[in-house]
Chain A
């Protein structure tokens, strides 16, 4: 099992550009989520999904969209990047009976 795979690992965007952060898991986990990690702050939940076709907002959803067409994939879209979205983004998944998240290795995004 590869676990949770995130791409790209690094990205630089100009203000106003759009992009999609990819996340895929091969553990058949129903629950997937996106977090952002900023210096001096804990992980903050952006969006989450409890299964294919179902998504919901977390603590800081503004500026981000998600979709969950399959169990495996949970992409995060930035429609119009802003410097405030400079952060490290983590995707995580959680399976039935598994109480701890499995995290991806992160995407470091810089918006200039």
Chain B
């Protein structure tokens, strides 16, 4: 089946720096993508989404970029804070309400 993968399993950044987390997807027909944040011991939380007819979407301190040519997603976090330390993973909608989830990148913010 289709799968979503991440380039790096771990990422460490200094507090205040920008973070970039990458995701590769394989289904060119996927029309909708979501980034989730999962803190230790908690369920995943929706951060930001993007439809396939867009290439960029901004939220509060977060930006998602979509490159359909190379089937790549990225999540940019500006001015990373200690509270941003978590596992981040992307999800692609492959059909209806069905999503495939990536394995996740663990972000550690160094004070």
Binding site for B on A (CB under 8 A): 4, 31, 33, 35, 40-43, 45, 48, 50, 59, 90, 92, 94, 99-106
Contact = CB atoms under 8 A, between A and B. Distances in A.
A31 B97 contact: yes
Contacts of A41: 103
Nearest to B89: A42
B100 A42 contact: yes
B103 A90 contact: no
B21 interface: no
Contact of A42 (B41, B49, B103): B103
Chain B contact patch, size range:
20 to 34
Contact of B98 (A40, A42, A45, A106): A45
12 contacts: A42-B3, A42-B100, A42-B101, A43-B44, A43-B89, A43-B101, A92-B43, A99-B34, A101-B46, A102-B46, A103-B43, A103-B45
Contact of B44 (A33, A40, A45, A90): A90
Nearest to A41: B103
B43 A105 contact: yes
B104 A90 contact: no
B100 A100 contact: no
Nearest to A43: B101
Given A59-B1, A94-B97, A100-B34, 7 more contacts: A40-B103, A42-B3, A42-B102, A48-B98, A99-B34, A103-B44, A103-B45
Nearest to A40: B103
B97 A42 contact: no
Given A42-B100, A42-B102, A43-B101, A90 B4 contact: no
Contacts of B45: 103
Contacts of B61: none
B32 A106 contact: no
Contacts of A40: 103
Given A42-B89, A50-B97, A99-B34, A106 B42 contact: yes
Nearest to A9: B41
A42 B4 contact: yes
A90 B101 contact: no
